[in-house]
Chain A
């Protein structure tokens, strides 16, 4: 039994769980125990996920949705079964779940639906029924927040450049929360899209989905949620959020790289034109033109990432076995413990919320007198893996007055001993640089 359980009484047995992650037993930088605190960038992968992928390749590998042989049937079943399993993990139906390469591609799929539909409307080209709401004109507004990951910012800048729409954003408070004081002005009759992050990858803030969604709904705007940092860490039921689409990636939730997810309402899915086009996504093809398959296949051109889907389904099994309430409680305990221990070090300043209220386990900080990159390097020399830099949220760093930060992002396989090791190493950082 781990210290963590004794301390908090909830039910993740970290010691036993860690046996699923052989990588956590390796050493780094001259025989230091690896303390992996970079799960916000990507999580480690359990044996169950690797075994599921291997089993698929060993027994059923074939191209899905084609072929008249048994393996093709099994592969198709594995792929579509995984879709249903992953959908169930977030409270969705399989038909509403599109597989992409990663969350960035999921958001691009949405963004391109607007610019492509706008282009087609301009030329009078055929486009799906119900797609009028995807046509943007100069004067229309797209609303994001200043805490977006570049993945939920740059694609919308591109859409604005292509359609003449205007990008607006909700600013930040000094402690890294959204400043919603002028939400009533920012969301107005010109607002066509509101796309925002559920939980900040930079500062861990959990945003009030309901409040923002209600405002967006009241003006008839589409509402999209970037849930990359929330779905791995807390129970999320997409069907009750009231949003039109949710994007996330597989690799931050114990799953493999190379697979991302886009959940969307049928209304949106059927209104969107294809993003990537080619094989597998068609209904009929002639030399003149083609018609397209219904979603989700319309958005899955080419041979898809079957093994990754199987792996991600296994990751969902493991997370459900642990129980997402337990995962959230476990992460919450590590967050509280980390914040408490970091507060013992006077030269360390947390960037973002310093209480556990509406915040996740990603904690950014700066050390007085030492650059964040150098902080990360010293931690690395002690076996502590953290992320440094602007975390693909450069505007958020600017808004919070820091050029960069160092970030820890603990997950299910971390325990208080990992945080203690981090704090010990962090306490030595200023000595290395002779800062007094």
Chain B
């Protein structure tokens, strides 16, 4: 079980980073995990700096288990301030690790605190908990970027 509840995860759960809904934002999404009732409201603010789209802010409120709540905090730490392309690459790495059934342990260099979720991959019922905030964020990105193309 120590695999699952890494100290890093518990730290993020007790002291979540970036929590709270903030202005400005271009998209707000509400995602739920229908099997357990975990919920997250997430806002995304993108900016363009020197022609590069940057994740300026991700703000959120939610309720749920330690895994889903800590994951939202790690999401904030991982993507805010990053160019959107790199943030999306972080999402891919995170998702790949979680869906690997424990085969991929993650690279701390590129993933930071997010590698602490490697153990979650061994608990299939909890993978969705960890992915909830990241999928909400991805949805927000799609809404903003597709909105611009329209």
Residues of A near any B CB (own CB < 8 A): 29, 370-374, 377-378, 381, 388-390, 394, 397, 403-404, 432-434
Write the chain A residue with the least CB distance to B5: A432
Query: Are A371 and B65 closer than 8 Å at their CB atoms?
Result: yes
Residues 46 to 84 of chain B near chain A (Cβ within 8 Å): 63-67, 69
Query: Are B37 and A433 closer than 8 Å at their CB atoms?
Result: no
CB distance from A206 to the nearest CB of B (A): 25
Query: Are A433 and B1 closer than 8 Å at their CB atoms?
Result: no
Q: Does B36 reach chain A (CB closer than 8 Å)?
A: yes
A378 proximity list for chain B (CB < 8 A): 1
Size range of the chain B interface in the assembly: 20 to 34
Q: How far is the CA of A433 from the CA of B67 in the complex (A)?
A: 12
Query: Are A397 and B66 closer than 8 Å at their CB atoms?
Result: no
Query: Are B4 and A403 closer than 8 Å at their CB atoms?
Result: no
- Nearest 9 Cβ contacts at the A-B interface: A373-B65, A381-B1, A371-B65, A389-B36, A390-B37, A374-B66, A404-B37, A374-B65, A403-B63
Q: How far is the CA of A389 from the CA of B69 in the complex (A)?
A: 15
A434 proximity list for chain B (CB < 8 A): 10, 14
Query: Are A389 and B35 closer than 8 Å at their CB atoms?
Result: yes
Q: How far is the CA of A397 from the CA of B123 in the complex (A)?
A: 25
Query: Are A377 and B126 closer than 8 Å at their CB atoms?
Result: yes
CB distance from A268 to the nearest CB of B (A): 33
A373 proximity list for chain B (CB < 8 A): 36, 38, 64-65, 67, 126, 129
Q: Is the interface of B mostly helix, strand, loop or mixed?
A: mixed
CB distance from A225 to the nearest CB of B (A): 27
Contact sample, A vs B, 30 pairs, CB 8 Å cutoff: A29-B1, A371-B65, A371-B66, A373-B38, A373-B64, A373-B65, A373-B67, A373-B126, A373-B129, A374-B5, A374-B65, A374-B66, A377-B1, A377-B4, A377-B5, A377-B123, A381-B1, A388-B36, A390-B37, A394-B37, A403-B63, A403-B64, A404-B37, A432-B5, A433-B5, A433-B10, A433-B13, A433-B66, A434-B10, A434-B14
CB distance from A368 to the nearest CB of B (A): 14
A381 proximity list for chain B (CB < 8 A): 1
Query: Are B37 and A397 closer than 8 Å at their CB atoms?
Result: yes
A371 proximity list for chain B (CB < 8 A): 64-66, 69
Q: How far is the CA of A374 from the CA of B10 in the complex (A)?
A: 11
Write the chain B residue with the least CB distance to A372: B65
CB distance from B50 to the nearest CB of A (A): 42
Assuming the contacts A374-B65, A434-B14, asked whether A403 and B5 have C-beta atoms less than 8 A apart, the reply is no
Write the chain A residue with the least CB distance to B14: A434
Q: How far is the CA of A377 from the CA of B1 in the complex (A)?
A: 8
CB distance from B52 to the nearest CB of A (A): 38
Query: Are A390 and B36 closer than 8 Å at their CB atoms?
Result: yes
Q: How far is the CA of A230 from the CA of B112 in the complex (A)?
A: 51
Assuming the contacts A374-B65, A377-B4, asked whether A389 and B10 have C-beta atoms less than 8 A apart, the reply is no
Q: How far is the CA of A371 from the CA of B4 in the complex (A)?
A: 15
Write the chain B residue with the least CB distance to A370: B66
B67 proximity list for chain A (CB < 8 A): 373-374
CB distance from A296 to the nearest CB of B (A): 34
Write the chain B residue with the least CB distance to A373: B65
Write the chain B residue with the least CB distance to A30: B1
CB distance from B92 to the nearest CB of A (A): 26
Write the chain B residue with the least CB distance to A432: B5
